[in-house]
Copies of this chain bind each other. A is one copy, B any other.
Amino acid sequence: MTPQREMIFRAFFELGEHVTVAELYRKVCEKNPAVGYSTVWRNLKLICKVGLAEEVNLGDGVTRYDRITRQPHGHLYCLQCKKLTEFEMNSITDLLDLAAKQYDFAVEGVKVEISGYCRSCRKMNERLAKDGRTN
């Protein structure tokens, strides 16, 4: 266990969910600017390999890393502000397991992503639309 590794692991768990390599790298640099980007990347991969996190891919070009929590959860991804919100998914996983069983498929992981528009972005859009009309 090198000091870099310890620092990276700590920083990862201090940060919230959905961490990117760049974010973690920035965080680690605050403590020790000498740590290399590739070291951060490799240790993030390691965290996944030992089962403490998993990669999340939203198709926006960057890989995020999610702590693996006791509760399976899905993601609400706002297409406008890009914010990621989690929702609990207990009842849904049962259904998914059932679906997989029909194909004799051994489930390792489940990813559910709902994309759309969050409340605050919709409100903002409504306001902007109104302003637009009155001008």
Contacts and interface: CB of A to CB of B under 8 A. Distances in A.
Interface of A: 55-59, 63, 74, 76, 78-79, 85, 87-89, 91-92, 95-96, 99-100, 102-119, 122
Q: Which secondary structure dominates chain A's binding surface?
A: strand
Q: How many copies does the complex hold?
A: 2
Contact of A114 (B55, B58, B109, B119): B109
A99 B92 contact: yes
A26 to B, nearest CB: 23
A120 B102 CA distance: 14
A105 B89 contact: no
A115 B111 contact: yes
Contacts of A112: 96, 110-113
